[in-house]
Amino acid sequence: MKTCGSPDDVFIPIIGLTGSGKSSFISLCMGEEYDENEDVPLPGATGFKVHSFKHSSGRTVHLIDTPGFDQPGREDHEVLQECVYWLSKSFEAGIKVTGMVYTYPIDLMRLPGSARRALQMFKAMCGIQNAPSTVMATTMWDKVEREVGEERVDTLAEEQDFWGDFHDAGSRILPVLSDQRSALKIVNLIISSSTGLTLQIQQQMILDKMMLHQTDAGKILYGNIMTEKHNLEEEIDEIKRSMQEQLVQARQDQVRELEEMARAKHDKLETRVAAVQEIQKTNNDLTVMWDIRVKDDMRRMRLELLRNQEHLQDLEDSLAGRATNGAYQERKEREELERELKRMRKKVEMLQRENRFGATAGVLLTGGKVVGGGLGVAAAIIPLVACCIM
Ligand SMILES: Nc1nc2c(ncn2[C@@H]2O[C@H](COP(=O)(O)OP(=O)(O)OP(=O)(O)O)[C@@H](O)[C@H]2O)c(=O)[nH]1
Ligand SMILES: [Mg+2]
């Protein structure tokens, strides 16, 4: 296989809440227009995507878009599992993360519990020893008064619970304005601050062989799930007590209402019990589970790509057969076809990019085994991986 990557390549995962501007930040770095409608993943697809570009230093930078925390319809433990899976997979293949970016929307008025947890999980995944190679990238500056935003940055930098501990340990808070320069400043800072990290989560899951719920990042989520579970159990007990009282007094309507409430709480409790099981996983468990999902994803993406390539060909044929100077109606139809063709070309390009990342996953899935696995395979794996990404 031809090798076109280099051990010099830069890998930067971009992590943050859903809607915090991860994909927009990546587009700014790449100098591309971001269209969130084209960023819709295939149903059930995994959320990691790699976007690569040549940096002015000559190094290839791979920005890794990750699924957002606090997504409607997707639980945070699944997002954490996916992050851990990729970070483990790449670490085992000898790829070291150069730095990490956490996107934070500066217009966020108050940090809800889930947002606070996502921030804590990010810090726990990195480990404070890696703080100098992390950046909090603040987004949405056009949505707040500058002074208000600056005050929030001060709070983030001071409060230990927010970014204070990381800030004191050398992490920077930098704004992403709507220009490429401010975005690249973040990438430049990371490149100049790091030669490759062992993240806390990689140390704990792979080297120390902990289960996910025992790691610092896992503990944060696990604690929350256990609290939710405990609260639900108490609420169900309370409902049962009330039901007994109502039964004694033969109030059938109230009993039925309470039964309904108990059922709803039970359903919720079941999701928490499942979540507990999902977080009590070893690295090996996660690898088995997510390898299957990634392979499925790759298959579906290839099919989607083929379908779209066929559609693209049909459009091109259809356009080729039309006169450029026909009647008004024909010109309108031609313009519409041209627009559709443009959309389809973009979609095919995007799918090809994702497919290449799928291939990257494929290399990671098999590459480690072919060349013996472990950490000593960096030189062999990195060119292969980079080749598939680019
Ligand atoms: N006004 C404003 N809108 C922004 C900014 N950054 C991103 N957006 C918009 O906010 C929305 C979410 O941004 P994305 O970049 O898709 O966020 P994300 O973190 O990738 O979200 P997920 O993929 O869902 O996790 C999009 O509509 C963006 O166009 C910004 O700095 N200012
Ligand atoms: Mg996104």
Q: pLDDT, tens digit, for every residue of 181-208?
A: 999 999 999 999 878 999 999 999 999 9
**pLDDT band, residue 373 (cuts 50/70/90):** very low
How far does the centroid of ligand 2 lie from the alpha carbon of residue 51, in Å?
Answer: 12
The verdict on 40 and 79 lying in the same domain is yes
* For range 90-119, the mean pLDDT: 91
Decide which of 191, 207, 223 is a domain's last residue.
207
Asked if residue 53 is part of any domain, the answer here is: yes
How far does the centroid of ligand 1 lie from the alpha carbon of residue 100, in Å?
Answer: 18
The verdict on 152 and 274 lying in the same domain is no
**pLDDT band, residue 366 (cuts 50/70/90):** very low
Decide which of 179, 207, 235 is a domain's last residue.
207
Contact indicator for 378, 384 with CB cutoff of 8 Å: no
Counting from 1 in the atom list of ligand 1, the atom nearest the Cα of 177 is 31
Q: Which domain holds residue 243?
A: 212-279
Lowest mean pLDDT among 64-68, 130-134, 286-290, 381-385: 381-385
**Per-residue pLDDT at 341:** 78
How far does the centroid of ligand 1 lie from the alpha carbon of residue 384, in Å?
Answer: 32
Decide which of 221, 251, 279 is a domain's last residue.
279
Burial class (CB in 10 A: 0-12, 13-18, 19+), 196: middle
Q: Which residues pair with 63 in a beta bridge?
A: 12, 51
Exposure class string for 107-138: b at 16+ Cβ within 10 A, else e = ebeebeeebebbbbbbbbbbbbebbbbbbbbb
The verdict on 111 and 132 lying in the same domain is yes
Instruction: List pLDDT tens digits, range 38-48.
Output: 555 555 556 78
The verdict on 114 and 156 lying in the same domain is yes
* pLDDT over 90 (residue 349): no
Instruction: List pLDDT tens digits, range 131-181.
Output: 999 999 999 999 999 999 999 999 999 999 999 999 999 999 999 998 999
β pairing state of 49-54 and 60-65:
antiparallel
The verdict on 235 and 202 lying in the same domain is no
Counting from 1 in the atom list of ligand 1, the atom nearest the Cα of 143 is 1
**Per-residue pLDDT at 233:** 96
Tell me the pLDDT of the chain averaged across its residues.
Answer: 83
Q: Tell me which ligand sits closest to the C-alpha of residue 34.
A: 1
Q: What distance in Å separates the CA atoms of residue 4 and residue 336, rounded to the nearest whole number?
A: 39
Question: Residue holding tokens 């990729």?
Answer: 86
Pocket of ligand 1 (CB under 6 A): 16, 18-24, 36, 68, 103, 139-140, 142-143
* For range 85-104, the mean pLDDT: 92
Q: Which residues pair with 103 in a beta bridge?
A: 16, 137
Q: Which of 14, 23, 74, 179 for mutating ligand 1's site (highest number of atoms within 8 Å of CB)? A: 23
The verdict on 269 and 129 lying in the same domain is no
* For range 222-246, the mean pLDDT: 94
- CA dist 250 → 106, 239, 244, 254 (Å): 56, 16, 10, 9
Residue type, 233: E
Number of structural domains the chain divides into = 3
**Per-residue pLDDT at 79:** 93
- CA dist 317 → 23, 255, 314 (Å): 34, 68, 5
* For range 216-234, the mean pLDDT: 96
The verdict on 308 and 167 lying in the same domain is no
The verdict on 157 and 220 lying in the same domain is no
How far does the centroid of ligand 1 lie from the alpha carbon of residue 34, in Å?
Answer: 9
Could you count the other beta carbons within 10 Å of the beta carbon of residue 38?
13
The verdict on 93 and 44 lying in the same domain is yes
* pLDDT over 50 (residue 294): yes
Distance between alpha carbon 37 and the CA centroid of its chain, in Å?
17
Look up the CATH number of the domain holding residue 181: 3.40.50.300
In what side-by-side order are the strands of the sheet with 100-105? 49-54, 60-65, 10-16, 100-105, 134-139, 172-175
